[in-house]
């Protein structure tokens, strides 16, 4: 395996690739993480049969074997060291699931769901906040060949109804407090959590999730699942504001696990103090209904054997308390968490010395924030990544070790195995060489099947050659480091110029009195659009609009100067850290009209 610096080659057709990562085929996707010499004989036979048949389908046992074969390729899980390992812990109640009992739980829940009539191709909605049982639910459903649709429980009833109809859900797993949002939709209802005191449930037929957990733990019955079968519908909320159900297959999830397993192995440095994966204690502040959360926990970290400390609801102080209490060593994070860790004074009140590594994804992170973070946490290994719901999470990541080149500041790292990428000129589609900015396009086995019941949106996103057009403005360096600049659709058209909001935002965040900032377009008759800054200050009143416009004006070209400022208490963001720019643009426009 060539090192990452030389493997992200600049190929004549302007396509970037990871390098010597093997054939993109079903044999690779299934067999890559498995080392035959240390597997039981029966599993070796299954592998040989898979090679012969190219492994176009697998039964439920095999799907679970792929997940549960981890780290050293898992010693027999009857060994007490692993049987008694806490793999999922509730940060509030300290309730936990042991590694040795996880697979049995998945079996029991799967068999209970099958008894309720769940079959291959049926859709099950999970409408819950975080729980240590979320991965159990997810794995039980997909092991039956059924489909998970993960939903935000804080959505309003109309949004939930629209999403349920979009994917054709017939089952739902939720909590008693959300029953009012779903009781009228004729779904098979499964309730998780404490049901005491909810008298309204007396008139509603339901099955308790605890009943499924206490059920039959016999082996799975045979169900054939093709790798191209749908495993999950995950909702994506684009800059257009339209909700789409991203269709992800079993192949997508397997490809992600295989690629990240290989990438992480290559990036680890045995000469340093890198902790073995199965010794990591990972805090989980991410919502598990989001692609980042579910792929990190139900896929990668369970497979690696990490202990996962799950926050039911995100609260920054609660997160700090959990790190200190459970001596967490790693965090999969999003930019707002990194910003808070870098800037909030309360961080100094907690003992976070156990932290060894933090990964950040979900949205771009300004260079100045990363510098502030590194100044406060100089001993923590930081990696930044890039991915989308449409790519089954991460497709690009950075690792800072002696065996892997440090990704340059501002980049999101290098492509992971089996991913291809190219930069094209916006408008013409012409492939561009390194250091030229254009739209990022991705191709590989992690790319979604499409948007559910939306062929037009699918065709507009994935072209005839299989390239997914991300809508992100980006460029590659000559050694393959990827830099994400902005959303193509978010470029501000000021007169004859195109202005990238991220460039001005980076300038704003360099001011010591500015805690957070976003730049949005406001319509203008003469200029077309004006750049306007939405700003959160550390202390109200320390800066005026003139102070801010003057500060930015000294650092940017004339056409990039901001033409107004909207002061806010906070920047509205989604669960992945993505900014609600359309909402801010409306508020900024109203603010500008009020001044005229």
Domain coordinates of the chain in residue numbers?
99-232, 491-595
Q: Would you say residue 37 has pLDDT above 80?
A: no
Architecture of domain 99-232: 3-Layer(aba) Sandwich (3.40)
Contact by Cβ (8 Å): 153, 173: no
Phi, psi at 545, each rounded to 5° = -60, -40
**Predicted confidence (pLDDT) per residue in 182-197, tens digit:** 999 999 999 999 988 8
Across 26-40, 179-193, 335-349, 414-428, the highest mean pLDDT is recorded for 179-193
Q: Radius of gyration of the chain from Cα atoms?
A: 24
Give the span between the Cα atoms of 533 and 545, in whole angstroms.
10
Contact by Cβ (8 Å): 431, 424: yes
**Predicted confidence (pLDDT) per residue in 95-135, tens digit:** 999 988 888 898 899 999 999 999 999 999 999 999 999 99
Confidence at 246, pLDDT banded by 50, 70, 90: very high
Give the span between the Cα atoms of 232 and 37, in whole angstroms.
33
DSSP 8-state class, residue 280: -
Question: Of 74, 76, 82, whose CA–CA distance to 100 is shortest?
Answer: 82
For residue 108, what are the CA distances in angstroms to 83, 113, 130, 478, 490? 18, 9, 21, 52, 47
Would you tell me how many other CB atoms lie within 10 Å of the CB of residue 119? Answer: 12
Q: Which of 70-74, 172-176, 482-486 is predicted with the least confidence, judged by mean pLDDT?
A: 70-74
Give the span between the Cα atoms of 123 and 322, in whole angstroms.
34
User: Per-residue DSSP letters for 514-549?
Assistant: EEEEEEEEEEETTTEEEEEEEEEESSTTSS-HHHHH
Confidence at 52, pLDDT banded by 50, 70, 90: very low
Which has more pLDDT, 369 or 116?
116
DSSP H/E element including 373: helix 367-376
**Predicted confidence (pLDDT) per residue in 207-229, tens digit:** 999 999 998 767 766 777 888 89
- 3-class SS string, 195-245: CCCCHHHHHCCCEEHHHHHCCCCCCCCCCCEECCCEEEEEEEECCCCCEEE
Give the span between the Cα atoms of 301 and 314, in whole angstroms.
19
Q: Token pair of 509, please?
A: 């965040």
Phi, psi at 70, each rounded to 5° = -120, -170
Phi, psi at 242, each rounded to 5° = -85, 135
pLDDT (0 to 100) of residue 403: 46
Would you tell me how many other CB atoms lie within 10 Å of the CB of residue 308? Answer: 24
Q: Does the 491-595 domain belong in CATH 3.30.300.30?
A: yes
Mean pLDDT of the chain: 81
Task: With H, G, I as helix, E, B as strand and everything else as coil, classify residue 285.
Answer: coil
Arithmetic mean of pLDDT, 76-95: 81
Arithmetic mean of pLDDT, 261-265: 72
Q: Would you say residue 10 has pLDDT above 50?
A: no
Answering whether pTM is above 0.85, one says no
User: Per-residue DSSP letters for 99-159?
Assistant: HHHHHHHHHHHHHHHHHTT--TT-EEEEE-S--TTHHHHHHHHHHTT-EEEEE-TTS-HHH
Give the span between the Cα atoms of 204 and 473, in whole angstroms.
50
**Predicted confidence (pLDDT) per residue in 420-473, tens digit:** 999 999 889 999 999 999 999 999 999 999 999 999 999 999 999 999 999 888
Question: Of 461, 422, 424, 468, whose CA–CA distance to 446 is shortest?
Answer: 468
Question: Of 532, 547, 536, 538, whose CA–CA distance to 596 is shortest?
Answer: 532
User: Per-residue DSSP letters for 22-80?
Assistant: ---SHHHHHHTT--GGGS-HHHHHHHHHHHHHTT-EE-HHHHHHHHH--TTT---TTSH
Give the span between the Cα atoms of 289 and 446, in whole angstroms.
19
Question: Of 145, 98, 149, whose CA–CA distance to 452 is shortest?
Answer: 149
Give the span between the Cα atoms of 141 and 341, in whole angstroms.
36
Phi, psi at 332, each rounded to 5° = -85, 120
Question: Of 243, 258, 175, whose CA–CA distance to 209 is shortest?
Answer: 175
Q: Would you say residue 80 has pLDDT above 50?
A: yes
């Amino acid at each position: 395996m060539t090192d990452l610096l030389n493997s992200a080659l600049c190929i004549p057709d302007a396509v970037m690739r990871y390098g010597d990562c093997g054939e993109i085929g079903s044999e690779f996707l299934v067999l890559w993480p498995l080392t035959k010499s240390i597997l039981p004989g029966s599993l070796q036979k299954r592998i040989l049969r898979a090679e012969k048949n190219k492994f176009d389908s697998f039964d439920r046992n095999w799907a679970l074997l792929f997940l549960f074969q981890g780290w050293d390729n898992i010693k027999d899980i009857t060994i007490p060291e692993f049987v008694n390992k806490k793999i999922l812990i509730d940060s509030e109640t300290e309730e936990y699931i042991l590694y040795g009992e996880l697979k049995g739980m998945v079996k029991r829940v799967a068999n209970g769901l099958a008894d309720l009539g769940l079959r291959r191709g049926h859709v099950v909605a999970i409408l819950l906040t975080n729980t240590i049982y979320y991965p159990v639910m997810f794995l039980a459903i997909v092991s039956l060949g059924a489909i998970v649709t993960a939903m935000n429980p804080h959505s309003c009833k109309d949004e939930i109804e629209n999403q349920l109809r979009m994917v054709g859900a017939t089952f739902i797993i939720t909590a008693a407090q959300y029953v009012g949002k779903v009781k009228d939709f004729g779904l098979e209802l499964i309730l998780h959590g404490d049901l005491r005191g909810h008298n309204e449930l007396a008139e509603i037929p339901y099955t308790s999730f605890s009943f499924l957990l206490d059920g039959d733990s016999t082996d799975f019955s045979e169900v054939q699942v093709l790798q191209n079968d749908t495993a999950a519908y995950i909702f994506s909320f684009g800059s257009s504001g339209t909700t789409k159900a991203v269709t992800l297959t079993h192949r997508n999830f397997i490809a992600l696990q295989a690629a990240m397993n290989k990438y992480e192995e290559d990036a680890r440095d045995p000469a340093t103090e890198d902790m073995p994966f199965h010794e990591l204690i990972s805090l989980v502040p991410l919502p598990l209904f989001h692609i980042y959360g579910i792929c990190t926990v139900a896929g990668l970290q369970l497979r690696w054997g990490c202990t996962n400390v799950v926050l039911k609801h995100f609260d920054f102080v609660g997160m700090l308390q959990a790190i200190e209490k459970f001596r967490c060593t790693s965090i999969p994070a999003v930019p707002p968490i990194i910003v808070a860790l870098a800037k909030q004074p309360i961080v100094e009140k907690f003992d976070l010395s156990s932290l060894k590594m933090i990964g950040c994804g979900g949205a771009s992170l300004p260079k100045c924030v990363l510098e502030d973070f590194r100044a406060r946490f100089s001993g923590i290994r930081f990696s930044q990544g890039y991915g989308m719901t449409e790519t089954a999470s991460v497709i690009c990541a950075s690792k800072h070790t002696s065996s892997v080149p440090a990704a340059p500041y501002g980049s999101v790292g290098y492509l992971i195995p089996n991913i291809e990428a190219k930069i094209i000129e916006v408008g013409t589609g012409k492939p561009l060489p390194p250091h030229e900015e254009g739209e990022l396009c991705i191709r590989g086995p992690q790319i979604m099947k499409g948007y559910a019941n939306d062929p037009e949106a699918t065709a507009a996103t994935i072209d005839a050659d299989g390239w997914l057009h991300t809508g992100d403005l980006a460029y590659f360096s000559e050694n393959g480091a990827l830099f994400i600049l902005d959303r193509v659709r978010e470029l501000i058209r000021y007169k004859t110029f195109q202005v990238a909001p991220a460039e001005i935002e980076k300038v704003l965040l360099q001011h010591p009195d500015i805690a957070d900032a976003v730049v949005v377009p406001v319509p203008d008759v003469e200029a077309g659009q004006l750049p306007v800054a939405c700003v959160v200050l550390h202390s109200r009143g320390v800066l005026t609009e003139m102070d801010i416009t003057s500060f930015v004006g000294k650092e940017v070209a004339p056409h990039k100067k901001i033409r107004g400022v909207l002061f806010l208490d906070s920047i509205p963001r989604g669960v992945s850290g993505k900014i609600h720019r359309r909402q801010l643009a409306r508020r900024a426009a109203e603010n500008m009209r009020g001044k005229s």
